Amino acid sequence: MKKSATSYRRARVSEERISIKIRLKYSDVSLFQRRFSPYMSQYGMFLPTRHLKNKGTPLFFEFFLANNQRVFYGEGTVVQLYPPDRYPTAGLGIRFTALDQRSQQLLMEILAQQTQRSDLVPKLSPGVIQDLSDAAPATQAPPPTATGRQPARATAGTSKVPTQQPVASSNTAQPWNVGKPNAPETPATPPPAAKELPLFYGKESEIEETGPIIGIDLGTTNSCCAIVEGNKPHVIPSRYGYNTIPSIVAYDERGNLLIGHPAKSQMMLNPHNTVYGSKRLVGRKYHSPIVQIIKNRFLYEIIETEKGDSGVRIDQSNFTLQEVSALILTEIKEIAQSYLEQPINRAVISVPAYYNDNQRQAVREAGLLAGLKVERIVNEPTAAALAYGFGRSLNQKLLVYDLGGGTFDASVLQIHKDVYEVISTGGNTFLGGVDFDSRLIDYVLDRFYEEHQINLRHDAVKMQRIKDAVEKAKCDLSHEVKTDLIIPYIDLKDGVPLDINLTLDREVLNSLVQDLVEETVRVCDAVLSAQNLKPQEIDEVILVGGQTRMPLIHQRLTDHFGKPPHRNVHPDEAVALGTAILAYSFGQSGLIKLVDVLAMSIGIGLPGGRFKVIAPRNHKLPFEKSYTISTTRDDQTELEIVVFQGESSNVADNEYLGTMKLQNIQKAPRGKAKFDITFHLNNECILKITAKDLQTGLVKELVLSTRDTPEDLRQKLEMPAPAPAEAVPPPIPTQPTSHIPPIEDTPAPSGGGVLGWIKKLLGRR
């Protein structure tokens, strides 16, 4: 049923009607179709914006391509609000009330594409939308402007859709370049011939040590940047006006590199070329048990880099995860430069307290690739404690409970005025909001299977739609006790489109994730008991990370600690604000003193695959300890030390950090060539190992060679071969190896008698 042009004109004179003009950054209609497809249905669309209008507000909307062609226009009514504090992408749900004929045609094409992708037959009801074909000519939307220091925010009448702006390929090796927020893009950028990343591949010494130091929380899901100005820390908004940017990097179908919001908005259509959650993989060996277990959970391809690390393959090119993280840091750097109107060369970056040495090194490398000198790596809970306590002259024992998208950290700190001392720390780098989502996804998939006997797990696009909807439902359930999870046309059976349509209540969600919450409480208890502390001895529990908005977590912690958690720290911003405070303190000596501890023991592999701790967990940083090793064969010219991090007595369960090689040892009878090996951990927990030749007095700094494969390690450490899936393997006879040197029981300079039991072990050999 088409409405007449006359009635359309009558409708337009309504005084309350709001006009929204959206100017896109490209001139290609097919790109509009692809980008907006996830947001369109036959009845209406989702319009990303932070400028929300009341429900029921009538709208007149126009989308323009970069060449000024009006591509989609019509009228609608606001039917749903997605406020920024509750949804990852804020916006308006609009029901179409009128569309011009070309826009109707375009909408039908978009719906047809959606259905092709999910093998559905579209059912467009023509009567729903009116015809606007003879409507008023398009007025050109004014180009977006950047005013003063504020990054352009999404406002009606300016470019507002955070899906359109490919990242400027500024080369950070060159002098800085203040990005213009929302600057109009040259239309029709040709796809790049080869993947040249806008990264800096030079040395740290080439970066100037000038300009302000920014603080960066490089999160699994979202990243956040902050600065101290006028003695107060505050967040620097993204180029779209958000306080955080999604930690997502993608190549779109035209080869454009997208970072942050633009990458997130196209994720549903392009899941194989969109990298998210890279923080869980960065600095991890490809062959580590963890990567082998989780690699198939990602929709993009995880590969092994030349160095044996985990990397990713997107759009037919291979990248290291340092490069992926660096792209997110580059975006942050550009936002900060644009906001502060000066070059940014230095940053403090936070990492989970539970990150191992490789992961910390990887973040440093990522910082350098982004053209940033990383002034300090700081643990996230420590940064959150700084945001809580800075300038308040407190004397308190805090527990920082940080449950973000991908990691959980619990740390106990003693704040005494400006001294922040970590007493105990622990966590799990594989526990976060995504695990809560996974439980709910499984629940939804099971219900769908029960009803229709269809397994949706193998379709990446459908899974991405489900993930998106489930995460939104999970967040809704932090504010409401019930919510509807509706995903229209998720599949087709016997020619009939099938929807997911479930009412979820908070109780169901709570029951699905109860054990995850219990695991966090167990970690808190372990962190407390490591220092003989009881829950009642904690003065305040600070909640950090988006997932802590869940009421079940508040309830459980209130029960456990006998008091409700502190509410005045912003869960999304505290870590970034703390990094900014620390950065600020560098210019003012004595402003803040941080004393941190080692979150996970570091040690060496011994014959039989055992693990000997050299630096124990919770030891104060900096740390230094030495021991002596000697050759085991006549004329031996090479010695190796295999380093691991973790709490298991079995190296196979710990994270392999690398192998130290002592080469070109002067030939001598066995046991004559001796070395003092010293483990140094600096105050940001980065490991350096030195070897002093006791014959010559020469000191060598050892470099972690990271190329040992699991099989190399197995042989070096005389570990049994891994069990085949079903059969029990015959025992492997252990042969003494010449690679792994014995440790002498002569007292070490600072470490004390290393290991009576090693002697016993050696005695057995």
Give the residues lining the site for ligand ATP (CB under 6 A).
Answer: 219-222, 279, 404-407, 432-434, 471, 474-475, 478, 545-547, 549-550, 572
Closest CB to ligand ATP among 345 and 483?
483
> From the list ligand ATP, Mg ion, none, which binds 546 (C-beta under 5 to 8 Å, kind-based)?
ligand ATP
- Catalytic one of 402, 421, 471, 718: 402
Q: To the nearest whole angstrom, how small is the minimum distance from the Cβ of residue 218 to ligand ATP?
A: 8
- Catalytic one of 21, 25, 160, 279: 279
Q: To the nearest whole angstrom, how small is the minimum distance from the Cβ of residue 462 to ligand ATP?
A: 20
Q: To the nearest whole angstrom, how small is the minimum distance from the Cβ of residue 355 to ligand ATP?
A: 10
Closest CB to Mg ion among 154 and 413?
413
- Interatomic CA distance for residues 576 and 748, integer angstroms: 41
722 secondary structure, DSSP code:
P
Burial class (CB in 10 A: 0-12, 13-18, 19+), 293: exposed
Helices (H), 454-505: 460-476
- Interatomic CA distance for residues 232 and 229, integer angstroms: 5
Q: To the nearest whole angstrom, how small is the minimum distance from the Cβ of residue 355 to Mg ion?
A: 12
- Interatomic CA distance for residues 446 and 459, integer angstroms: 15
Q: To the nearest whole angstrom, how small is the minimum distance from the Cβ of residue 151 to ligand ATP?
A: 20
> From the list Mg ion, ligand ATP, none, which binds 246 (C-beta under 5 to 8 Å, kind-based)?
none
Q: To the nearest whole angstrom, how small is the minimum distance from the Cβ of residue 687 to Mg ion?
A: 24
> From the list ligand ATP, Mg ion, none, which binds 268 (C-beta under 5 to 8 Å, kind-based)?
none
151 binds Mg ion (CB under 5 A): no
Closest CB to Mg ion among 379 and 601?
379
Q: To the nearest whole angstrom, how small is the minimum distance from the Cβ of residue 432 to ligand ATP?
A: 4
* 380 is an active site residue: yes
Residue 324 backbone dihedrals phi, psi, to 5 degrees: -65, -50
Alpha-carbon separation of residue 489 from 45, 114, 123, 535 (angstroms): 15, 9, 10, 49
Q: Count interface residues toward Mg ion (CB under 5 A).
A: 2
Enumerate the β-bridge partners of residue 701.
690
- Interatomic CA distance for residues 609 and 431, integer angstroms: 27
Closest CB to Mg ion among 280 and 610?
280
Q: What is the DSSP string of 341-398?
A: TS---EEEEEE-TT--HHHHHHHHHHHHHTT-EEEEEEEHHHHHHHHHHTTS--EEEE
Site for Mg ion in 693-732 (CB under 5 A): none
Cα dihedral sign, 296-297-299-301: negative
571 binds Mg ion (CB under 5 A): no
381 binds Mg ion (CB under 5 A): no
The total of other beta-carbon atoms located within 10 Å of residue 666's CB is 12
Nearest residue to 210 (alpha-carbon basis) of 330, 361, 340, 322 = 340
Closest CB to Mg ion among 130 and 407?
407
- Catalytic one of 75, 100, 217, 331: 217
* 217 is an active site residue: yes
404 binds Mg ion (CB under 5 A): yes
Closest CB to ligand ATP among 198 and 405?
405
Site for Mg ion in 202-221 (CB under 5 A): 219
> From the list ligand ATP, Mg ion, none, which binds 222 (C-beta under 5 to 8 Å, kind-based)?
ligand ATP
Closest CB to ligand ATP among 504 and 550?
550
- Interatomic CA distance for residues 556 and 517, integer angstroms: 8
Enumerate the β-bridge partners of residue 586.
none
Q: What is the contact mask toward Mg ion in residues 218 to 257, using x (rule: CB under 5 A)?
A: -x--------------------------------------
Closest CB to ligand ATP among 219 and 233?
219
- Interatomic CA distance for residues 406 and 229, integer angstroms: 30
- Interatomic CA distance for residues 308 and 145, integer angstroms: 46
354 and 599 Cβ atoms separated by less than 8 Å:
yes
- Catalytic one of 131, 357, 380, 708: 380
Q: To the nearest whole angstrom, how small is the minimum distance from the Cβ of residue 405 to ligand ATP?
A: 4
Enumerate the β-bridge partners of residue 257.
251
Q: Which residue is nearest to ligand ATP (CB)?
A: 433
Nearest residue to 332 (alpha-carbon basis) of 242, 434, 441, 255 = 242
Q: What is the DSSP string of 260-293?
A: SHHHHHTTTT-GGGEE--GGGTTT-BTTSHHHHH
Is residue 143 reached through a cis peptide bond, with omega within 30 degrees of 0 on the bond before it? no
Residues that bind Mg ion (CB under 5 A): 219, 404
**Catalytic residue annotation:** 217, 279, 380, 402
